[in-house]
Amino acid sequence: MSFSDSKRSLEKALEVEVTSVAGNGERESLEQSIDPSAPCGDEANVGLHEFDIARQSGLRVTPEQSRRIARKIDFSVLPMFCVAQGLSFLDKTAVNYGNLYGMQPSLHVSGSQFSWFASAFYLGYLVGNYPDSWLLQRYPTGKVFAITTLIWGIIVITTPACTNFASIMANRFFLGLLEAIVTPGLTLLTSIWYTQSEVPFKYLFWYSFNGWAGIFGGFMAYGVGHITNPSIALWKYIFLILGGMSIVFAGVLWFFFPDSPVSAPFFTAEEKVLAVKRVAEGRVGVKHALVDPKTWMLLVGTSASQVPNGIVTNFSTIIIKGLGFTALQSTLLNAVTSALQIVSLLLAGWICMRFKNMRFITMTASSIVCIVAAACLTFLPPDRKWGRLIAYWFTAFQTASLALSLVMIANNIGGFTKKTFTTAIIFVGFCVGNVLGPHFIIDSEAPTYTTGTKAMLISYAIKTVCHAALGVYMLLSNIKRDREYGKVTSHEDQLKGEEAGMHDLTELENHYHRYGGSQSLP
């Protein structure tokens, strides 16, 4: 079922739901007040009709009901978010492990050409970003995810058949084209399944599977390195294993991934209505995106943050090997980076969920850690290999600030249309940074790769400035809105904000919206 089909499903659920929550008289009144033939508005505005049902029936979501619904989502949907993110990370970074086992000489390409393999993926990602999001909105979510995962699994598993620069470039481009649906799509879907207060931790939780995937990839590569008398080149085993895993997971998505809360088989009829109502309470529903300062601060900050990402995700093994370790040691030592990435993401998510108005402080703190780490990696003497290795490990904190900046889209961009468009713009910056990053690794600078580490240092500094400016802007905006429209305190105000958000009003049009993570002081 596509997002636009949710209306018809809810009409069936409504008959059961109204009976369970209202008496006969109330039921008759409620049925008369709802016109099933009335238009839903924007077909991509998930849950507008369901929200109207909840509003007209006077349903309120209790904390206990909200927790019960969240638990069901945690056990049924969140694991598939996690595996999808992890597999996409493994598949796109497979060249990192392949390079360790002779992929570059096997294909007879130079170091600069190999850098283009990483860039080609993000060029495809850039092209596929908006079309993939469009497909996700217009067609059944589970089926779209399943088909794209199947196709990219086939692309990965056929990578060993590529024998030259041109064929690998085409392979990587189309892989990026398909995988562009994952992180941007999950960013949007997280705000559809979870409430505003739940989004930061849930987002960082599934995003942390980049780290879990990195640990798995390290041990997998370590195991591949111990294959005796291999019948094919060792690097080819990496792609065969990962491609096969993605193809199997595509079948899981096809049969078990629900298209929306409305079609989730694990929800009762009542819970389907409540699931939409509780998300609507976040009060956020290509308007204003281009003139909104937040868009451009996020764009520049994301672009800067992804230059280091383009370096470490594609060349981490050879950077560690260049410090003075063997190929097999490098695969295991790289897993420590992934473990620190997991710790930083879960810690950041816990802090933001446990304490109010901590997102920008957490983002800034993680960025400062990265600045110090990149400085040590750049300026420590080459013979201080353990000090430089530890510094490299702590660059993993970059993921926490990036993930929290993406949470800003889920929680602080109002209107589904604007949110989708802003996500597309931000992921343009994501792609640009990742396209540029690999080209700062210059073969002649091995093993220190000074240009690469300096690029990381400068990029972290730019990202920190952008995120700090974003936090100040949102704080001042909240103060200004409180002065002009008053604080949002009453239940009536909250309902008005919910309704405005569900009718696709942006946060700039919705006077009841306040930016999360930078609320003004009471």
Residue 383: pLDDT over 90: no
The Cα 203–Cα 210 span in angstroms is 12
The Cα 433–Cα 430 span in angstroms is 6
The residue behind tokens 């993930």 is 403
The pLDDT of residue 161 is 94
Q: pLDDT tier at 496 (50, 70, 90 boundaries)?
A: low
Task: Please state the length of the chain.
Answer: 522
Residue 18: pLDDT over 90: no
Residue 227 half-sphere exposure toward CB, CA atoms < 13 A: 16
The Cα 96–Cα 436 span in angstroms is 16
Contacts of residue 198, defined as CB under 8 A and 6 or more positions apart, other chains included, come to 70, 353
The pLDDT of residue 11 is 40
pTM for this entry:
0.76
Residue 518: pLDDT over 80: no
The pLDDT of residue 114 is 87
The pLDDT of residue 515 is 61
Residue with more model confidence, 291 or 17? 291
- With a pLDDT cut of 70, the percent of the chain lying above it is 77
Spatial contact of 55 and 495, defined as CB atoms under 8 Å apart: yes
Spatial contact of 225 and 101, defined as CB atoms under 8 Å apart: yes
Residue 224: pLDDT over 60: yes
Q: pLDDT tier at 1 (50, 70, 90 boundaries)?
A: very low
The Cα 182–Cα 184 span in angstroms is 6
Spatial contact of 410 and 426, defined as CB atoms under 8 Å apart: no
Residue 483: pLDDT over 50: yes
Reported as a single tens digit per residue, the pLDDT across 283-337 is 444 445 566 788 888 889 989 989 998 898 888 888 898 888 888 888 889 899 9
Spatial contact of 391 and 336, defined as CB atoms under 8 Å apart: no
Residue with more model confidence, 14 or 416? 416
Reported as a single tens digit per residue, the pLDDT across 23-42 is 444 444 433 333 333 334 44
| Lowest mean pLDDT across 40-54, 180-194, 263-277 | 40-54
- What is the DSSP code (8-state) at residue 60? -
Question: What DSSP string describes 163-213?
Answer: -SHHHHHHHHHHHHHHHTTHHHHHHHHHHHHS-TTTHHHHHHHHHTHHHHH
Domains of the chain by start residue, with CATH: 49-60+70-280 (1.20.1250.20), 289-515 (1.20.1250.20)
The CB density around residue 483, as the number of other CB atoms within 10 Å, is 10
The Cα 282–Cα 494 span in angstroms is 9
Contacts of residue 284, defined as CB under 8 A and 6 or more positions apart, other chains included, come to 191, 196, 411, 412, 413, 414, 415, 419, 501, 507, 510, 513
- The stretch 236-242 carries a mean pLDDT of 95
Reported as a single tens digit per residue, the pLDDT across 99-130 is 888 898 899 888 888 889 889 999 999 898 87
Reported as a single tens digit per residue, the pLDDT across 448-457 is 889 999 999 9
Count Cβ neighbours within 10 Å for each residue of 134-157 and write b for 16 or more, e otherwise.
Answer: ebbbebbbbbbbbbbbbbbbebbb
CA angle 475, 478, 484 (to 5 degrees): 145
Residue 136 half-sphere exposure toward CB, CA atoms < 13 A: 28
On the question of a cis peptide bond just before residue 447, with omega within 30 degrees of 0, the verdict is yes
